Structure 1
Amino acid sequence: MQSQSSHWFGLPKMLFWGYIAIAIFMSGDGFEMAFLSKHITDLGFTPAQSALVFTVYGFAAALAAWSSGVVAEIITPQKAMKIGFVMWVIMHALFMTLGLGLKSYPLMLLFYGIRGLAYPLFIYSFVMLIVQTVPKQQVSSAMGWFWAMYSIGIGCVGSYLPSFTIPAIGERGTLWFAIAWVMMGGLIAMFCLRHVGGESEKANLSTKEKITELTRAVTILYTNKNIFLACLIRIINTISLFGFAVIMPMLFVGRLGFTMPEWLQIWAIFFFVTIFTNIMWGVLGEYIGWMRQVRWFGCIGCAIASLMFYYLPVTYGHNFWVAAIPAVVFGITVAAFVPMTAVFPALEPHHKGAAISIYNLSAGLSNFVAPAIASVALPFVDIEGVVWIYTGLYLFAAVLTVIIKVDQPARESLTQPKQNAAYEDALDPL
């Protein structure tokens, strides 16, 4: 176990500036999350076209999330983070100038889509650096800090700060301002993590062996039914999170009379709550039971929260505090999926790396599926119908939790804390 001098309450000192870099980088990446969809429609594009932009972005992010662990392992996490950082800055500048600037829909799809490869490569490569450098018994707490920094960045600062910058410098100016944050985070990572960790063990693999490493994370979906079902649950986990970022600005700002800063502050409340609930559910899951918690508090809870997110503001109109209620409830329930990180390696104990790769893939696919559903369904069932589709998917996931069979040492931890290796991975983001 690490000595007290090498970490602060589970935060590894050697990686301190890496955590700061993640928070700053994801702040810049999150600036656009809650208003870009409406900004695109304000340029004259349809809601379905706007949703398709995010769908392409989400597909690229899913690919990057799936491959980033293997890529970081092969070329070193620091080099992978540098690639992600540089790619983000260049593609964002091209998206702003040639995509939004020229109102060119094909170029918007192209450059924003390619930019979708960048942030997963940056943040998930840092996760690999955590796994490589932190003792096994400290990985769980180290990951807890990682997801806290992630939520602070993309959720709190990324959503709250634009509510002040948009009135001051406009939406376009806020999008440009994001580059400064991403560059700051990227440069901190480049200079402060240079001497952390060692040479990758897999750097000298042949090309064929590297391809084998990459493809193993796909074949496991066919050989393990429970992994496949867990993958579906993890996709559904954050489907409202990514979906609501696309459709709710159209509802709150476009129809109910909320200002864009008000909507961004409501969205920031949701992320602020998840900072604490991620840690809370990570502990409670050990006593309640992994799948039991995911079923009742995650799946059923998110189904209820999703409906509240639509019907409360629609019923009470332009009332900030009423609209903040479902944001708090959603922040509580979406974090109840925390034990899924422990479930994946427990389902495939002999291939934990491949299992975690599938977890990353499913997390990324959620970013793709959510706006894809909105893009296809909006012309037919409007915003209300999309919300009901998301709700139905959460109920479907609840059924899947009954089918999956996994050892759940829920009460064992009372007398034998953390004897099961799966506990080392129990903390997770949303």
Structure 2
Amino acid sequence: MSDQSTPNTALARFCEKTGIPYPMFWGFVGLLIFMIGDGVELGYLSPFLSERGMPADEIAMVFTIYGVTVGVSSWLAGALSNIWGPKRVMILGLLIWSVFEVLFLIYGLQELSYSMILLTYGLRGFGYPLFAYGFLVWIAAATPSRKMGMAVGWFWVAYAAGLPTLGSLVASVSIPLIGAMATFWLSFALVVVGGVIGLVGMREAHGMQRLAPEGEKPLVSMAKNITIMWEMPKVSLAGLVRVINTSSMFGFLVIMPGFFMHTVGFSLEEWLRLLTIVFVFNIIGNLASSIISTRIGYRNTILWLGAVGSTISTPLFFFMPQAFPNDFLIASIFGAFYGLTLACFVPLSALAPALAPQNKAAALSVLSLGAGASTWVGPAVVAIFQDSFGLAGVVWAFTGLYALSAVMTAFLRDPEPVFEPTLTKTKRKIKIRAPRLDYRWAHAEQK
């Protein structure tokens, strides 16, 4: 967006100072509310089903099927955006989530029908990735490369603030007041409101049209989202790094509650507070790493703060609380450190489309596939290593994966300068400044 197209309003000035693309501001607001609604059930759906007599293996199967559909849909968000345009993909995601949520609540939860829960909850899993990652593709299509770091940072702030942080908070307040079942309906209302705000509020042109070249057949466009994996190996490398990024988080959600309650000596309430601290600092890290990446580059941020940082923070988050049992402060410090380092992979969402500037949607579909795959890779690592090597073996396995991600990231390169002034105070003086490093000035130097 050119500066000429941005009105001189308080909101526009706020967006300019914070790095939020002004034409997409309401999309970020809508995404936040949508993800709050989607995250409401995260902390209590499993206990809800268990308390009503559903066996543990059936509950596990429900979440397994959901994870598979989320992974597939994460890839489809980029592929379909190429064909239909991001806005239509977001609309489809909102419709899928809304329709199958109603069916899930009425015919699944109220009747406690395992087959209907499996069917409707599984199909609902196609909804939120189409909406959320469709918006991410829209951001990539409409935002200049120099500003992508901050834009995707704000995307992940909105995403993570809703799922799981504020979503779980809403549930903790709502359930005692209106009950568990009514809270599910509150979740539905929040998703619909957030979806409508995002879709109605955004009128940026790139998202309202297909991103594939004019005349390209849909099957050819879909195929590019697959062939890019071997035609542009560095995009695949970024996708693999994205798989590793949050794999430990999903693995730790399986083993850490029992570890902190039975080994470290925390109560359930203390564990939940610790988990909240981890996610709050993860949100802070999402924005901080985006700002830092505009100074030192996407690749350097991912490599040193994300990959190397997580190689250090992951074992510390496990071993330090054991060394100081019942010490909530120590656990909080290293939990916050762990959450911050995971967030420093965020510039991947800016780097991947920059690696394939002619097919940004395909590059993001690979990255989104990696994000979806991490939801089952993490628990798979736990299943493979826990029986033979114990919890310590699982932690060292994740540590090794982060070290591997550092090696893989070393082969990636920022394809162009990413330096952009952000979050700076402006003084009421007229100053003449030399232009920053920016290829827009290259043609002037050649004359």
Q: Could you say whether these structures have the same fold, taking a TM-score greater than 0.5 normalized by the shorter chain as the test?
A: yes
- CA–CA distance in structure 2, aligned partners of residues 335 and 209 of structure 1: 37
Pair 1:72–1:378, CA change in 2 (3 A): same
Structure 2 counterpart of 1:406:
413
Q: Please list, as runs of the form range in 1=range in 2, the aligned pairs for 1:350-389 lying within 5 A after superposition.
A: 350-374=358-382, 385-389=393-397
SS of match in other structure, 1:11: coil
Counterpart of 2:78 (choices 69, 72, 79) is 69
SS of match in other structure, 1:33: coil
Does structure 1 conserve the Cα–Cα contact (< 8 Å) formed by 2:250 and 2:374? yes
- CA–CA distance in structure 2, aligned partners of residues 204 and 293 of structure 1: 33
Q: Please list, as runs of the form range in 1=range in 2, the aligned pairs for 1:81-92 lying within 5 A after superposition.
A: 81-92=90-101
Asked if 1:209 is matched to 2:195, the reply is no
Q: Please list, as runs of the form range in 1=range in 2, the aligned pairs for 1:24-423 lying within 5 A after superposition.
A: 24-37=33-46, 39=48, 50-101=59-110, 103-131=112-140, 138-169=147-178, 173-193=182-202, 196-197=204-205, 199-201=208-210, 209-252=217-260, 262-288=270-296, 290-314=298-322, 316-317=324-325, 319-374=327-382, 385-402=393-410, 404-407=411-414, 417=436, 419=438
- CA–CA distance in structure 2, aligned partners of residues 18 and 89 of structure 1: 18
- CA–CA distance in structure 2, aligned partners of residues 104 and 332 of structure 1: 40
- CA–CA distance in structure 1, aligned partners of residues 99 and 262 of structure 2: 31
Relative to the length of structure 1, the TM-score reads 0.80
Does structure 1 conserve the Cα–Cα contact (< 8 Å) formed by 2:298 and 2:418? no
Does structure 2 conserve the Cα–Cα contact (< 8 Å) formed by 1:38 and 1:249? no
Does structure 2 conserve the Cα–Cα contact (< 8 Å) formed by 1:227 and 1:344? yes
Does structure 2 conserve the Cα–Cα contact (< 8 Å) formed by 1:51 and 1:375? no
Unaligned runs of 5+ in 1: 422-430
Give the residue type in structure 2 aligned to 1:114: L
Pair 1:412–1:310, CA change in 2 (3 A): closer
- CA–CA distance in structure 1, aligned partners of residues 146 and 407 of structure 2: 33
Structure 2 counterpart of 1:5:
8
Does structure 1 conserve the Cα–Cα contact (< 8 Å) formed by 2:93 and 2:131? yes
Instruction: From the CA coordinates, give the structure whose radius of gyration is larger.
Output: 2
- CA–CA distance in structure 1, aligned partners of residues 99 and 312 of structure 2: 41
- CA–CA distance in structure 1, aligned partners of residues 414 and 91 of structure 2: 39
Does structure 1 conserve the Cα–Cα contact (< 8 Å) formed by 2:137 and 2:360? no
Q: What's the CA shift string for 1:37-88, capped at 9, x where partnerless?
A: 5555556667666555433322222221222133234334333222212221
Percent identity at matched positions? 34
Does structure 1 conserve the Cα–Cα contact (< 8 Å) formed by 2:274 and 2:331? yes
Q: What's the CA shift string for 1:166-194, capped at 9, x where partnerless?
A: 4445555544432221122123234434x
- CA–CA distance in structure 2, aligned partners of residues 212 and 30 of structure 1: 35
CA deviation after TM superposition for structure 1 residue 106, in Å: 4.5
SS of match in other structure, 1:238: helix
- CA–CA distance in structure 2, aligned partners of residues 11 and 288 of structure 1: 20
- CA–CA distance in structure 1, aligned partners of residues 147 and 320 of structure 2: 42
Task: Considering Cα pairs closer than 8 Å and 6+ residues apart, tell me whether 1 or 2 has the greater RCO.
Answer: 1
Q: What's the CA shift string for 1:187-236, capped at 9, x where partnerless?
A: 3234434x553751469967x81121112111121223333222211110
- Where has structure 1 moved over 6 Å in runs of 4 or more? 45-48, 203-206, 254-257, 408-416
Give the residue type in structure 2 aligned to 1:5: N
Pair 1:409–1:122, CA change in 2 (3 A): closer
Does structure 2 conserve the Cα–Cα contact (< 8 Å) formed by 1:54 and 1:368? no
- CA–CA distance in structure 2, aligned partners of residues 35 and 190 of structure 1: 29
- CA–CA distance in structure 1, aligned partners of residues 115 and 225 of structure 2: 32
| Paired residue total | 418
Relative to the length of structure 2, the TM-score reads 0.78
Does structure 2 conserve the Cα–Cα contact (< 8 Å) formed by 1:54 and 1:371? no
CA deviation after TM superposition for structure 1 residue 12, in Å: 4.1
- CA–CA distance in structure 1, aligned partners of residues 212 and 346 of structure 2: 32
Pair 1:129–1:188, CA change in 2 (3 A): same
Unaligned runs of 5+ in 2: 422-433, 441-447
Q: What's the CA shift string for 1:311-356, capped at 9, x where partnerless?
A: 4445555554443223311221012213323432454455444323
Does structure 2 conserve the Cα–Cα contact (< 8 Å) formed by 1:37 and 1:246? no
- CA–CA distance in structure 1, aligned partners of residues 50 and 124 of structure 2: 20
Pair 1:74–1:248, CA change in 2 (3 A): same
- CA–CA distance in structure 1, aligned partners of residues 333 and 46 of structure 2: 23
- CA–CA distance in structure 1, aligned partners of residues 241 and 26 of structure 2: 33
Does structure 1 conserve the Cα–Cα contact (< 8 Å) formed by 2:153 and 2:346? no
Does structure 1 conserve the Cα–Cα contact (< 8 Å) formed by 2:85 and 2:211? no
- CA–CA distance in structure 1, aligned partners of residues 43 and 197 of structure 2: 26
Pair 1:204–1:297, CA change in 2 (3 A): closer
Q: Answer with 288-297 or 38-47: which moved more.
A: 38-47
Pair 1:84–1:409, CA change in 2 (3 A): closer
RMSD: 3.8
SS of match in other structure, 1:5: coil
Q: Answer with 138-147 or 274-283: which moved more.
A: 138-147
